[in-house]
Chains A and B, each alone.
Chain A
Amino acid sequence: MSGNQTVEAFRAELRGWLEDNCPQEMRDGGMSEDAICWGGTQWTFSSSAQKDWLERAAAKGYTVPTWPVEYGGAGLNREEEKVFHEEMARINARSPLQSFGIWMLGPALLHFGTHEQKLHYLPPIARGEIRWCQGYSEPGAGSDLASVQTKGADQGDHWLVNGQKIWTSYADKADWIFALIRTDTDAPKHKGISFLLIDMNDAGVETRPIKMISGISPFCETFFSDVKVPKHQIVGEENRGWDVAKYLLTHEREMISGGGAGLSGGGRELGAILAESAGEDGLTDATLRADAMRCEIDALAIGLTLERYKDQSEAGQGAGDASAMLKYMGTELNKQRHELLMNAGGSDALEWDGPLGNRAGDWLRTKANSIEGGTSEVMLSIVSRRVLGLPG
């Protein structure tokens, strides 16, 4: 069979499988915080359909379709992955599982982990059994992330970890945390950090949710007091954790930028949403309409840029520091988009859980987009230094 026939055969098979296995209730394109399962030992399924969908997808490797089969994935190549997303979108299927394990730890382990680590940690992520959170930022290490102070003292067969992390997303709901820990206090700041995996149930780990301006608490403070971390729970080499972190930040930036650019593809068109909230006459406010057109043009072009970089990397042409650019452009666009949605909503958008649902909460949430995962200003500094070669 030619490559094209192979892909089309896969499409036919997948379409049949989805028809048989994706519950009707999971075909509403739900994207809200709890519409898609996050997994983990604390997860409460919102319906039996959500549970069935996760289990059936996980059994086929479809929660992490591109991961190798032996680690819980379906081993799809890029063409098949594209077909997978197309077919999922065709029936408006919810993603069966989302998590930081899938987006971040998984890619890091696949790149830096040993075979044993991959076998041990990846399948429970793919099955939604273990939920991970990320321990990077500290009260004194925000944009200057490499200045982390949480210490891991070498005790022979383990490190004794003490310190505090902040902005750990969903730490209170996570089973494990991957964290940047200073294991050499004498080395230059980038060279004394290790990437450690820590069980949140260990004695000495404590979390405290932080209430945000959007009214919810997706972030926590996480405290470590004399937590023992066995030596085998390290990804990559000792004191080389910054390499892993940098690799992961790239993934995180691409993920966050996708939030803004997503509207060019599967997302609803901005104009349609605005017109709906503007009333039956459509978008009649000339200023709002002009802003929306500019926003739509930028969104479409950023969406094409994501596509171009994927095509380039597939063709073996490196995209360089493109992730910083995509993160910056995508998040700034998403903020603009939500400002427009608030304008269009007028006073209806000013009530918590009002006529427009959680529009205000969503708007406030986007303000973090250009802060988390590296601020817009850090992204611009990366471009300035690495792409433009400006002295710094």
Chain B
Amino acid sequence: MAKLVMTEDETMLADSARGFLDSEAPVKALRDLRDAGKTHDAALWNKMADMGWAGVLVPESAGGSDMGSAAANVLAHEMGKTLVVSPFLSTAVIAATALRQVSDARTEAALAKIATGDVTYALAVDEGTKFDPNAVQMTAKSDGNGFRLSGKKQFVVDGGLADRLLVLARTDNGLSLFDIPADRAGVTRDASNMIDDRDAARITFEDVEATGDDLLGTVDQAMDVLRPALQAGQAALAAEMSGLTAGAFGMTVGYLKERKQFGMEIGRFQALQHRAAHLWCEIEVTASAILHAGRMLDHDPENAALAVSLAKARATATAQLAVQEGVQMHGGIGMTDAFDMGFYMKRARVGAEWLGDYSYHAEQVAALRGF
């Protein structure tokens, strides 16, 4: 098993990502985007693709850098620190991982387009308020050599901007995953006005035609393709949330050192010191779970389920603690829109729900640990 230490390459990747993001995508970029009424910055995503980030999980044969999940997590963590808006998770992590489970000319071409930033994807799974792939009801009825898709999806992250959709639907004897263009006849996308100011959509499928070629992987066997993609996405989302946590925590500790009340810095008060110290302890413990998840996905993916759920559960709990403490310790200023802490709190809330909330992943852990 690889060591739980950042490698030199990973540290360099983090440093170069930080340098780029500090100039191109500080928190102010999110604010400006929101104020302009937009949820996506295509120019920024193109620059990230030029840096090779879009191809981080694309095989070299398709023009990617194939750096692995740990590296993708490093990038996600850095993006999380300044709440960077991009389709990185849905396209470069989830879709790329799903596509590379299938080896043929079509997926090779799709992966090549992901690496260059020429195509974006969104994953459409949720139908209710909670993530639960096995409960999917949307149907894909056999129709000659193809299928007819009917049903509704919600919380499709990046579903408004995506060129293509990965859609999970129920076929005759199980679940199947379809890869279709987002503008296909019968697909209606309604933008969701999200609290984190990012792209998401409710999507209705009315008798949408899909051919056998649109099927990703084997019919009725969606999980063969989807499970690795979900795990890579959950781990990267955990990493993004740990970055978000680091960002919020850094602001909070900085504030404790400069804000004065009763004639002294509020960081002198033990009540606040101990809460900040406790939060740091939680952050350290969560960091281990995230590093471990990346290592498992890269070196022992068949057995990564426990590591991934552990990382997502811990990252969720820690991020929620960090933003709540962040607002409380900032006092009234933390409640204002002019201050950035609110952006962190709202993104933490969305990240907590996406790809499985704390309860979902706790149940996975319990099942794997024999409860």
Contact = CB atoms under 8 A, between A and B. Distances in A.
B30 interface: no
Most chain B CB within 10 A, of A269, A283, A322, A388, is at: A388
Contact of A384 (B274, B285, B289, B306): B274
A362 B288 CA distance: 29
B369 A380 contact: no
A301 B256 contact: no
Number of chain B interface residues as a range: 35 or more
B199 to A, nearest CB: 31
Contacts of A19: none
B277 A383 contact: yes
Contacts of A301: 285-286, 288-289, 310, 314
A392 interface: yes
Nearest to A261: B285
A311 interface: yes
A308 B365 contact: no
A298 interface: yes
Interface in B332-371: 362-363, 365-366, 369-371
Contacts of A300: 289, 306, 310, 365
Contact of B365 (A297, A311, A322, A325): A297
Contacts of B278: 328, 380
B310 A380 contact: no
Given A308-B4, A311-B3, A302 B277 contact: no
B132 interface: no
A305 B371 contact: no
A250 interface: no
A297 B313 contact: yes
Nearest to B4: A308
B285 A293 contact: no
A54 interface: no
Contacts, number: 122
Contacts of A275: 370-371
A381 B274 contact: yes
A276 to B, nearest CB: 11
B34 interface: no
Contact of B366 (A293, A304, A379): A293
Given A271-B369, A387-B280, A380 B274 contact: yes
A328 B281 CA distance: 8
Contacts of A315: 3, 5
A269 B370 contact: yes
A270 B287 CA distance: 23
Contact of A271 (B265, B292, B370): B370
A305 B3 contact: no
Given A381-B270, A384-B274, A293 B365 contact: yes
7 contacts: A271-B371, A293-B371, A322-B284, A380-B273, A380-B277, A383-B277, A390-B267
